């Protein structure tokens, strides 16, 4: 793997790992913060498709540890060499809340647009925080 071009983000949010898991491990949850549209079952071996800012991606779920972590591979529909691995980890905090740790790294040697990917994960982290906040207010 190409660790030198990985993008890593961490954010602390209100809500338990169980509450955040609904946003991390369901297609409906993904639509609230990660992608514009999602058609996938979040289970090991699950495959599906998402639309991410007009980019169509295939997704394959690699690992699921309920309320702890989700690992998936995704790549642009017409470019299998763009495959990257995304790991989303959840850790409960002693005083309440949860730390969300996200890492995306390319799996193939490619021209990984690091600055673009970093910006996208900044936006996604903000959308996740807004989704958690909106749920707390409902």
Rounded to an integer, the average pLDDT of 16-42 is: 95
What's the predicted TM-score (pTM) here? Answer: 0.82
CB 132 within 8 A of CB 17: no
55: containing domain? 3-137
Q: What is the overall mean pLDDT for the chain? A: 86
What is the C-alpha separation between 29 and 34, in angstroms, rounded? Answer: 8
Rounded to an integer, the average pLDDT of 117-127 is: 69
What is the C-alpha separation between 29 and 18, in angstroms, rounded? Answer: 13
**Per-residue model confidence (pLDDT) at position 115:** 42
**Per-residue model confidence (pLDDT) at position 4:** 58
* CATH code of the domain in which 44 resides: 3.30.530.20
**Per-residue model confidence (pLDDT) at position 72:** 98
DSSP state of 23: H
Q: What are phi and psi for residue 35, nearest 5 degrees? A: -140, 170
Name 25's Cβ contacts closer than 8 Å, sequence gap at least 6.
Answer: 42, 64, 66, 70
CA distances from 104 to 6, 19, 73, 80, 118 (A): 6, 23, 9, 16, 9
Number of domains in the chain: 1
Q: How remote is the C-alpha of 102 from its chain's centroid?
A: 7
What is the C-alpha separation between 130 and 4, in angstroms, rounded? Answer: 30
CB 121 within 8 A of CB 112: no
């Amino acid at each position: 793997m190409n660790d030198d071009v990985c993008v890593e983000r961490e954010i602390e949010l209100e809500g338990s790992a169980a509450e955040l898991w609904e946003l991390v491990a369901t297609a409906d949850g993904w639509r609230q913060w990660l992608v514009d549209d999602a058609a996938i079952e979040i289970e090991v071996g699950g495959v599906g498709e998402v639309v991410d800012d007009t980019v169509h991606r295939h997704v394959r779920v690699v690992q699921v540890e309920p309320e702890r972590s989700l690992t998936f591979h995704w790549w642009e529909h017409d470019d299998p060499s763009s495959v990257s691995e995304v790991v989303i980890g959840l850790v409960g905090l002693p005083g309440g809340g949860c730390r969300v740790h996200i890492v995306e790294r390319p799996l193939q040697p490619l021209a990984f647009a690091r600055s673009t990917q970093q910006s996208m994960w900044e936006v996604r982290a903000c959308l996740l925080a807004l989704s958690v906040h909106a749920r707390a207010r409902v």
